[in-house]
Amino acid sequence: MKHSNWLQSRGTALALIGLCAALLACGGGSSSSSNEETTSQPERINFAGAGNLGIFDPSLARDPASNRLWMSYSSVETSNFYPPAQYWAVSIRLAFSDDNGGSWQDAGVELATRDENKVGPLPVGPASPAIAANSGSIWQSETSTLRYDPGAPTGERWKLLWFQYLHANQHSYFADYSWIALKMAATPLELATATPIKLFGGAGLQPGNTNAGAPVFAPIAGMPEFQLNTDLTRSIGGADRAELNLCIFAEPGLHTTASAIYLSIYCADASTTPVTEYLVYFHCSSPCDITVAASWEYIGRLLAPADAPAAGADHHFQAPALVQQNGKTYLLATPVDTSTGDRYNGCRLYELIDINSNQLRRNGGNLEEITRVDGDAGTHNGACAAMTDIDGGILLSQFSPTASPETFRIFKSQVVLP
């Protein structure tokens, strides 16, 4: 999910925050805004039907026909192979609200599964521990992004992207065995039964990912439709596609307008030692053939390590999402504090001057922070979602290991978009 897991890339080990580091000391959740001295107390979103360890990683979309608000989210539950203190199993479920986010209800469907099997032996990159025969594993589904695409054919107007990867023997194989997956359908509920597509991969992907049987048991057979790091042929404004060549991708954020689809995503650039981590993004004109590399243009790097210190992060950002409010487009991102166990450190909102360029509003070269959301100090929290004028404002994910049993939680921050 958009939380914490530990990523091993080829040649370099790097921390990729997916779910949450199990040893972090966390509490409930509090929120603040750079535009306000005080805010209302955050309110926990809670409903039946999710995994026994709780919920995380929300993504919001509104149905233009019914005005119903939909949320895809990571459902966390106990694994068959690990106790909760060691690891967990993650799938993606669907919830909805008919009172503009005031209350939520699980929709009773799983959009993307987690698959637990004995795998191996499997080849891995030089920096990754070997996967022996008969290894307990989980193919995880997390960090989803749900969107309504008005320019698509009727049967493809609802789109779900998510990160799918293999976790085996207490190690996550983000480079060797992972990809971004896609489902499309006419309605959010129909996404549950839509055929999953292995959309794209990144650097380090093992050929064995194609095998849906032993010893890999990949949940989606075959090769990805394209490689996002190497197969694009176009860019905007002179953006250098070579920047992507050794990117390992995770945490996709999809944004749709009447004229285009935009994809913001985390890139771990394994061409450097240590690995350099960016947020990058892409454009696809409507009607967008999302499964074809030639449809996509690289726009550039949204956020770089140099932007992180001002946001309270040591090196980088993760969990990107583009949102619109009052005719403006904003980037919502999570700074990562690498000095204390690679933990999420709340969420920051920045304004895009031009959505078709990587121009964020700056003052004297420094990013202008429009607003922010913070969980409890010293805890793992972030992975936010936002939508225009919903009850409770920006949603914040909070890991609370002292809570039992639901350690993964989502809060209404009460911090609203400007």
Residue at 337 is within a domain: yes
Where residue 95 falls among pLDDT bands split at 50, 70, 90?
very high
228-262 per-residue burial string, b: 16 or more CB within 10 A, e: under 16: bbbbbeebeeebebebbebbbbbbbbbbbeeebbb
Residue 398's DSSP bridge partners are 381, 409
Nearest to 174 by CA among 243, 124, 104, 227: 124
Burial of residue 273 (CB within 10 Å: 0-12, 13-18, 19+) is: exposed
The domain total for the chain is 1
What pLDDT digit, counting tens, does each position of 191-247 carry?
999 999 999 999 999 999 999 999 999 999 999 999 999 999 999 999 999 999 999
Average pLDDT over residues 324-343: 90
Q: What pLDDT, on the 0 to 100 scale, is given for residue 260?
A: 97
418: in domain: no
Distance between CA atoms of residues 175 and 351, nearest Å: 31
Q: Looking at the predicted structure, is the pLDDT value of residue 267 above 50?
A: yes
Average pLDDT over residues 131-149: 97
The answer as to whether 393 is a domain residue is: yes
For 357-381, what is the mean pLDDT?
91
Read off the DSSP letter of residue 293: G
Within-domain flag for 121: yes
Assess if residue 235 is contained within a domain.
yes
Report pLDDT for 39: 52
* DSSP codes joined into one string, 185-250: ESSTGGGGTSPPEEEEE-TT--GGGG-SSTTT--SS-S--SEETTT---EESTT--GGGGTTEEEE
* Residue span of the structural domain in which 140 resides: 5-412
Q: What is the average pLDDT across 108-129?
A: 95
**CA–CA gap between residue 136 and residue 285 (Å, rounded):** 42
Predicted local confidence at residue 34, as pLDDT: 41
Confidence of residue 84 (pLDDT cuts 50, 70, 90): confident
pLDDT of residue 15: 35
Q: Are 165 and 172 in contact (CB under 8 A)?
A: yes
Res. 183: pLDDT tops 50: yes
343 domain residue, yes or no: yes
Is residue 289 domain-resident?
A: yes
pTM of the model: 0.92
SS3 label, residue 156: helix
**Residue 384: CATH number of its domain:** 2.115.10.20
Within a domain: 417: no
